[in-house]
Structure 1
Amino acid sequence: MRKIFFSGAVLTASLLLGACSGPESPAPAPSSQAGHNAADVTFAQQMIPHHQQALEMAKMVPARSSDPKVVDLAGRIDRAQDPEIRQMQGWLKAWGVAATSHSMPGGHEMSGDHTMTGMMSDADMKSLDAARGPAFDRSWLDMMIKHHQGAVEMAKTELAQGADAGAKALAQRIIDAQEAEIAEMRGLMKG
């Protein structure tokens, strides 16, 4: 096995360049073969389908929502999570690991024999898909809060157990962004 080591400056520069890459050029943040562990792999394998479901939920909003603030939030979720998916897929490829290992209901993939915290069931997604207007907004906000709480929990596990600096940095960004969005969504539900 070939080992590749990166200095802190190269890693920082690569992470910044990776964050600026366009959709047609997903650049995985560098990661040394020796610098990741099983927790990093699990984090990426589980966060990818978790984010994919959030994107699926976000894409429902424009045609169903009656609240421009919900539409705006869904757009921001879509723009933030799609590049993160590509970044994690790049890590898994660089680590020589499959992106996913087990199928979940609804075509989502996951690793392990349990359901991920915050994932919506097929019935939840069908119910959300059928709703419109204020009823859709309430359901979507409620489900997305739970979904984000699950992502925050997964990211906290990565911070506690992961070894890869890039994966841990992404986990912290997920915690910061999604906790702020949870607070925003709670405000919208009260409003």
Structure 2
Amino acid sequence: MAACHVPSSRRAAALPGAVADVAFAKGMIPHHRQAVEMADLASSRAQSTQVKTLAGEIKKAQAPEIKTLSGWLTSWGEEVPAEGVMDHSMHGMDGMMTGEDMDSLKKSSGKAFDTAFLEMMIKHHEGAVDMAKTEKADGSFPDAKKMADAIITSQTAEISRMNSLLGTG
């Protein structure tokens, strides 16, 4: 095994699926942070009460998961991704919005915000579901796999709900 492929934590080195667990936590933290940032905008910019309600539910679900994921990384001897720090290779691959996407969302309001928020959050959730499916397939930490199941279930339901709000579902 090449030295560059050796995981940094003892836990990851001991368990074959642990590399996937660490990757899941390190990827999902900035992903969830961006979803919470997007949801925060809805209270002052959304026109639709349904969009505001959905945004509140997203924030309520994902903020505690960030704490849990951060706790796992700390307990595994891994670094928690810093606020505002993101691997830019994540853009597009897992539904992450670019800086331009976020700026555009921040500048919109009313019906335009509602539509942009829903369209962006659908892509965002689809990315999270893909990340969670990877964790289920490759991970080994039971709690991470359980969280992945919950993400798949809840965010798939929210995607259907958002498509209905857009009139496309």
TM-superposed deviation, 1:114: 2.3
1:126 equivalent in alignment to 2:103? yes
Q: What are structure 2's unaligned runs of at least 5 residues?
A: 1-10
**In angstroms, what is the RMSD of aligned CA positions?**
1.9
Q: Deviation per CA, 1:106-140, whole angstroms, max 9, x where unpaired?
A: 93334xx7224100000000000001100110000
Quick one: which of 153, 158, 161 aligns to 1:181? 158
How do 1:8-157 residues align onto structure 2 when only pairs under 5 Å count? 33=11, 34=14, 37-100=18-81, 107-110=84-87, 114-115=89-90, 116-157=93-134
Letter in 1 for 2:138: Q
Aligned residues: 154
Letter in 1 for 2:111: P
Letter in 1 for 2:115: R
Letter in 2 for 1:80: A
Letter in 1 for 2:113: F
In structure 2, distance between residues paired with 1:176 and 1:75: 18
In structure 1, distance between residues paired with 2:57 and 2:85: 22
Q: Which has the higher helix share?
A: 2
In structure 1, distance between residues paired with 2:154 and 2:106: 25
TM-score by length of 2: 0.86
In structure 2, distance between residues paired with 1:79 and 1:72: 11
TM-superposed deviation, 1:99: 1.4
In structure 1, distance between residues paired with 2:86 and 2:161: 29
Aligned to 2:143: 166
Q: Deviation per CA, 1:14-68, whole angstroms, max 9, x where unpaired?
A: xxxxxxxxxxxxxxxxxxx456610000000000000000000000001001100
Letter in 2 for 1:114: S
TM-score by length of 1: 0.76
In structure 2, distance between residues paired with 1:145 and 1:43: 20
Q: What are structure 1's unaligned runs of at least 5 residues?
A: 1-32
In structure 2, distance between residues paired with 1:171 and 1:156: 7
Letter in 2 for 1:128: L
